[in-house]
Structure 1
Amino acid sequence: MTSSEIVELRRTLGRLRQCVGGMRARYGDIAAVRRLVNDLERLDIDVTELGELDDAPRPREAPRVGREVVVVPEAPYDPRLWHDADDEGLGGYRRT
């Protein structure tokens, strides 16, 4: 995000804050208005965090070369695959 976009977001949030203030004056402290106030506060926090991200170095993404989609079948596995396997999650219980 560019700094001009952050400035525009802040300006828009200011206008929205005025509208929500008008709603609070008209409808009072009802649940719907309190939710709008909370949402507005959350948006303000998020915009601040976005502005801070511009100054922070961005993590590099791992290259996507060599990644493939592996389809796992929904059919049950062959029980012979688990013959003589330990059930480690059950305290070492072993099927016979």
Structure 2
Amino acid sequence: MSLQDELTAAQRCLDELTRSVGRIEAQLDGGLDIRRVRTDADHLRDSLALLRAASPAPAAAARPEVIRIPDQPYDRSLWSDVDDEGLGAPDRRAP
């Protein structure tokens, strides 16, 4: 996986952690311990944002090499030993 893919996966996990902490917080009606967990999750979110900002930008996809095809006809001697497949033999009429 690329660095950007790893950062995105970490972000998804952190989002799920935040949702889970919210559900737990609703069940426990707050408290010091859950506030500490929420604060830690917020710090993780901030740290991941800083890491994403400091990471190098993804490299642009390399452009494929352009192959120029000449306009002049090909040398017919290249195909002297083969039939025109699918078109029938030159001395017969196609159906």
Relative to the length of structure 1, the TM-score reads 0.54
For residue 62 of structure 2, what is the aligned residue in structure 1?
none
Query: Which structure has greater strand proportion?
Result: 1
For residue 2 of structure 1, what is the aligned residue in structure 2?
3
Q: How does 1:62-81 map to 2 (within 5 A)?
A: none
Percent identity (aligned): 23
Pairwise CA RMSD: 1.6
Q: How does 1:1-96 map to 2 (within 5 A)?
A: 2-55=3-56
Relative to the length of structure 2, the TM-score reads 0.55
Deviations 1:33-68 (A, max 9, x none): 100110000000000011011138xxxxxxxxxxxx
Q: Distance in 2 between matches of 1:53 and 1:19?
A: 28
Larger radius of gyration: 2
Question: Structure 1 residue 18: deviation in Å?
Answer: 1.1
Runs of 4+ more than 3 Å apart: none
Corresponding pairs, count? 56
